[in-house]
Amino acid sequence: MQKIIDRFVKYITVDTQSDPNNPDFPSTEKQWNLAKILVKELEDIGMEDVTLDDNCYIMATLPSNVDYEVPTIGFIAHMDTSPDYTGTNVKPQFHPNYNGEDILLNKEENIVLSPSYFEDLLLYKGQTLITTDGTTLLGADDKAGITEIVSAMEYLINNPEIKHGKIRVGFTPDEEVGKGAHMFDVEKFGAEWAYTMDGSQVGELEYENFNAAGAKVTINGKIVHPGYAKGKMINSMTIASDFIKGLPANEVPEHTEGYEGFFHLHTMNGEVEKTTLEYIIRDHDLSLFEKRKVQFQKVADDLNKNLGSNLIEVEIKDQYFNMREKIEPVMHIVDIAEEAMKQLNIKPLIKAIRGGTDGSQLSYKGLPCPNIFAGGHNFHGRYEYVPAESIQLATDVIVKIAAITAERTK
């Protein structure tokens, strides 16, 4: 356990925040710092064919230790942390034998992690929680996943009595800005299927995710002196307000759950002459997803018609699609992960991801890729935490998947 904790801390104290506004791979130079550490560590534990390509993708191989044919499987995690909150100067805090009460993250700023607000904390009474100090995110998304993969590979190398086929591991940059799979070489990776270790609560096993699009709304106004503005000024911000109110008020993230889709306004910049709104559009059902995009455009078209001018411009771009379509024909790969959890006395929580994953894009590139829990909670912010025991359990799941895959093809 302590070795796993030390490994995790080593990774999270390297700042790898990605940048959504930079088209380069990786989007930030600092992601190379962790990549170089990982390459050396993979080599040190005995992995083979360790490569780091020009776009900051790491791949490595654990050779088969059986004399019969076993499908090559893979495990994947991402190196970057979210641009939503700073990952600079992470100072992890440790809370052994958590008692179920409030955790004071930062006395000076009175930042408290409380089970009265984050009820999932109560699932981990008696365990060792790793938190932030309230001034940064933690980075368990997805450095917990990296820790689990490296630790599992090291365990398999040190315990050759556990039979397994060829295993490939991959660590990607820029997942948090939607580009983690863009330059991933599926053919080079050479696995029949893989698993991303990028979920949250212990037991999560996911093979469905949102269909996703990004939308930018540009509203063009006209600025004149406010004292002489009658009949002349066009205030783009008030038109933007009308656009926002034109979408269903309850179909937003804070009022939806499960399979319910939404429109999410995440960025707004405005002045009289020009306002921009940036949205994400999400739905698990493809037909409903397409209807949402039509509905979004119609709000702009109707407002333009009422204004008598095309002051509102809309640009919608698809981002990724629900991987369920690609996973269902090969459901045995989900069954293996589910069986691995059951053998470890972990209750599988099979549900749809209310978000995206590298696994979605990889599935559409020919590498079916369900998602497995990595153990963290409250990603992308100051209240992020992960139980050390969850990292250990996810590591055990990887080892068990490798063993079951070999057993089933013996």
pLDDT given at position 348: 97
pLDDT given at position 355: 81
pLDDT given at position 91: 95
Of 370, 406, 376, nearest in space to 390 by CA: 376
**Annotated catalytic, 29?**
no
Cα–Cα distances in Å, from 219 out to 264, 275, 295, 307? 18, 5, 18, 12
Selecting among 80, 174, 251, 384, the annotated active-site residue is 80
**Residue the block writes with tokens 């099979």:** 350
Residues 322, 353: Cα–Cα separation, whole Å: 9
User: At residue 312, what is the residue type?
Assistant: I
pLDDT given at position 353: 87
Selecting among 15, 148, 174, 175, the annotated active-site residue is 175
392-401 pLDDT tens trace? 999 999 999 9
Q: Count H helices and E strands in the chain, helices first.
A: 10, 17
pLDDT given at position 174: 94
Q: Which domains does the chain have, with CATH numbers?
A: 2-208+322-408 (3.40.630.10), 211-319 (3.30.70.360)
β-pairing, 349-350 with 193-199?
unpaired
**Annotated catalytic, 102?**
no
Of 191, 168, 164, 156, nearest in space to 66 by CA: 164
pLDDT given at position 21: 87
Residues 196, 206: Cα–Cα separation, whole Å: 10
Per-residue pLDDT of the chain (410 residues; tens, 9 = 90+): 899 999 999 999 999 999 988 999 999 999 999 999 999 999 999 999 999 999 999 999 999 999 999 999 999 999 999 999 999 999 999 999 999 999 999 999 999 999 999 999 999 999 999 999 999 999 999 999 999 999 999 999 999 999 999 999 999 999 998 889 999 999 999 999 999 999 999 999 999 999 999 999 999 999 999 999 999 999 999 999 999 999 999 999 999 999 999 999 999 999 999 999 999 999 999 999 999 999 999 999 999 999 999 999 999 999 889 999 999 999 999 999 999 999 999 999 998 888 877 889 999 999 999 999 999 999 999 999 999 999 999 999 999 999 999 999 87
Cα–Cα distances in Å, from 215 out to 21, 84, 119, 252, 315? 15, 18, 33, 15, 6
